[in-house]
């Protein structure tokens, strides 16, 4: 088995059957076993892929994905990271929140509490497959807050944050700018007056309840919940090992991350932070060669850091 994506066709793997009927693939070279399927109650089943080492794993990682276009943009990183960690003896659970990806549910029901609840359910399902003694969490973008909250519930295990969203309002403004850039590219004949009327804003999101950003429905209920669960507060008070990776064109931490890291260290968190120079376009297609350089750098840093803290079989 050396497919580029273990999830291709996975949504047809007994979607209404019992949880134990999962599609299974095994890598003949590494012995890594990948089990793909759905679990949970009918009508709200969660899609997941467990990456299990050839030997019994003592530790594991739960991956909390980002949303919308960022979910697809980050997918390859997550698959490659999971396989690399499984080869190193660390089990990994990837999953899709209800209302996203191959999971059941409606997109307009996705909120921070629903994503956190799905993560908790994913943890319990994961423990049934891999009776691990320690567990770590990884979250990307808005998934960073979910991973942080879940980690504070479960244990004092390590936490990895990839380009986390610290300010939901700033993140929402970024999405509006993405939509505006697309309009400028594709509607060059649009008058300034028309462009002003079409320009998205928080007021529009509040009024309409949903806005379209490059074909993705961005719902008011999601961002209201994100405003109430900002990342610094979701971390809890128990100090833990934490790795923060910044992914942009700068070779030094942005002010927001530098301040965030300083605050955590003063609270007793053992934080490692690194700026990985990357041509990262979360909502647009970037340079493929630069993208793979970023993927390799991110995976290498993350695997080495987690193995140093969780051990390797």
Predicted confidence pLDDT, tens digits, the chain (313 residues): 444 445 644 333 333 334 457 899 999 999 999 999 999 888 899 999 999 999 889 899 999 999 999 999 999 999 999 999 999 999 999 999 999 999 999 999 999 999 999 999 999 999 988 888 899 999 999 999 999 999 998 878 999 999 999 999 999 988 888 877 766 655 555 555 444 444 566 788 888 899 888 889 999 999 999 999 999 899 988 999 999 999 999 999 999 999 999 999 999 999 999 999 998 888 876 666 568 888 999 999 999 999 999 986 5
How far apart are the C-alpha atoms of 30 and 86, rounded to whole Å? 9
Task: Tell me the C-alpha distance between 9 and 62, whole Å.
Answer: 22
Q: How far apart are CA 10 and CA 3, in angstroms?
A: 13
pLDDT of residue 311: 81
For the residues of 11-48, what is the DSSP string, one character each?
GGS-TTS-TT--EEEE-TTT--EEEEEEESSTTS-EEE
- Are residues 169 and 194 in contact, defined by beta-carbon separation less than 8 angstroms? no
Contact between residue 263 and residue 232 where contact means Cβ atoms under 8 Å apart: yes
- In whole angstroms, what is the distance from residue 206 CA to residue 223 CA? 10
- Map out the domains of the chain as residue ranges: 36-165+230-310, 171-220
Determine if the pTM surpasses 0.85. Answer: yes
Q: Tell the CATH topology of 36-165+230-310.
A: Rossmann fold (3.40.50)
């Amino acid at each position: 088995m050396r497919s580029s994506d273990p999830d291709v066709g996975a949504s047809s793997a007994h979607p209404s059957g019992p949880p134990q009927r999962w599609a299974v693939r095994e890598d003949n070279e590494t012995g890594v076993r990948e089990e793909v399927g759905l679990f949970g109650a009918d009508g709200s089943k969660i899609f997941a892929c467990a990456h299990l080492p050839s030997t019994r794993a003592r530790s594991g990682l739960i991956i909390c994905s980002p949303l919308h276009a960022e979910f697809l943009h980050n997918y390859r990183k997550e698959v490659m990271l999971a396989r690399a960690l499984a080869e190193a003896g660390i089990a990994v659970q990837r999953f899709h929140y209800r209302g996203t990806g191959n999971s059941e549910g409606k997109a307009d029901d996705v909120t921070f509490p629903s994503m956190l609840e799905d993560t908790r359910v994913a943890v319990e399902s994961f423990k049934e497959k891999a009776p691990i003694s320690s567990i770590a969490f990884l979250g990307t973008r808005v998934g960073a807050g979910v991973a942080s909250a879940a980690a504070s519930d479960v244990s004092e295990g390590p936490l990895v944050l990839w380009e986390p969203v610290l300010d939901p309002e700033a993140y929402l403004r970024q999405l509006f700018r993405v939509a505006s850039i697309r309009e400028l590219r594709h509607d060059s004949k649009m008058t300034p007056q028309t462009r002003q009327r079409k320009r998205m804003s928080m007021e529009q999101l509040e009024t309409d309840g949903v806005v379209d950003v490059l074909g993705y429905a961005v719902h008011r209920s999601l961002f209201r919940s994100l405003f109430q669960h900002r990342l610094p507060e979701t971390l809890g008070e128990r100090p833990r090992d934490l790795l923060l990776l910044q992914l942009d064109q700068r070779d030094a931490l942005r002010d927001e991350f530098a301040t965030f890291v300083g605050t955590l260290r003063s609270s007793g968190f053992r934080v490692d932070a690194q700026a990985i120079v990357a041509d990262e376009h979360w909502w647009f297609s970037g340079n493929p060669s630069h993208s793979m350089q970023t993927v390799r750098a991110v995976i290498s840093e993350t695997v080495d850091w987690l193995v140093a803290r969780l051990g390797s079989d």
